[in-house]
Amino acid sequence: MPYVVGVNRSGTTLLRMMLDSHPELAIPPETHFIPALYKHIKTLDPPTPDSVVDFLAAHRRWGDFGISEKDLKKRLKKAPSVRPKFVLREFYGLYAEAQGKERYGDKTPGYVKQMGMVQRCLPEARFVHLIRDGRDVALSRDERVQAEELSIERLAKIWKRRIGRARRQTERLEHYMEVRYEDLVTDPETQLRRVCDFAEIEFDPAMLRYHERSGERLQEIARDLPSEEGGTFRPAGERLGAHSLVTEAPRTDRIEVWRREMEPADLADFERIAGDLLEDLGYPLSGASSGASPGPGGSS
């Protein structure tokens, strides 16, 4: 079961659409509810199909999936138990069936912080950590309407901390791989073949034509996202706009955007904080943090 994770604005929706275009594989919109579901079931004595599905249906994301509460309850009443793994398998299974698919996966960037917990729920999960140059991640985040404006220093620390946290979890994970966004955009077939091998599914050329159906698939989230549970209210238009690029073929102009658009002072601050990780991941430094000017196509 491929599980796409990563820091927000790292291209995870692009990879979701590519995988979802496979004739056997369905990837739903972001779920977000697994940690809460895991904790909720532990509080129930005993958990029942009705109580668990009612809990899920109250989640702000539930309306994105097009799943009938009645159908899920019916399936769970036939399951061996109402433990998280059975609940989740029935949920994903129903979603996949509605898409005419046999297999399923997930794309929720935030699970990059909780892969160990997800694996306890679903041992079959195979985590695909999509990593993008943090300087471009910071710029992409600025393009979105945010509940909280973050400084470049804070964005650099978040990017570095979350990737580091993901890598520290790998000792406890059975299946984990990393894919660079830049490699996915410049050579999608090679990277998708890697992911398919990892998930034990045959590569299909339809994955390269994902953009032909992405607009239709995005209509699942063409609804206002409520603000309950501490989440930010997201109007339908803003949700769709945040993912509009996936309706196009991969765009290499989204690589190293920082060279054109990042302010020198911001660039210096980001590299001062996260330059070691950038280098470790193979991203060239501009030299801004040492007072040098960024070159047009490589490190100074």
Listed in sequence order, the residues at least 6 apart from 78 whose beta carbon sits closer than 8 Å to its beta carbon are: none
Q: Confirm if 255 and 183 have CB atoms less than 8 A apart.
A: no
Closest CA to 91 of 120, 61, 116, 111: 61
Rounded to an integer, what distance in angstroms lies between the CA atom of residue 8 and that of residue 131?
A: 10
Q: Confirm if 192 and 207 have CB atoms less than 8 A apart.
A: yes
pLDDT by residue for the chain (300 residues), tens digit each? 999 999 999 999 999 999 999 999 999 999 999 999 999 999 999 999 999 999 999 999 999 999 999 999 999 999 999 999 999 999 999 999 999 999 999 999 999 999 999 999 999 999 999 999 999 999 998 665 455 678 999 999 999 999 999 999 999 999 999 999 999 999 999 999 999 999 999 999 999 999 999 999 999 999 999 987 667 899 999 999 999 999 999 999 999 999 999 999 999 999 999 999 999 999 999 987 665 544 444 332
Q: Label the pairing between strands 126-131 and 25-26.
A: unpaired
Listed in sequence order, the residues at least 6 apart from 74 whose beta carbon sits closer than 8 Å to its beta carbon are: none
pLDDT, residue 261, reads 96
Three-state DSSP class for residue 19? helix
Rounded to an integer, what distance in angstroms lies between the CA atom of residue 107 and that of residue 121?
A: 16
Q: What is the CA radius of gyration of the chain?
A: 20
pLDDT, residue 84, reads 96
pLDDT, residue 148, reads 65
What are the structural domains of the chain?
A: 2-27+105-249 (3.40.50.300)
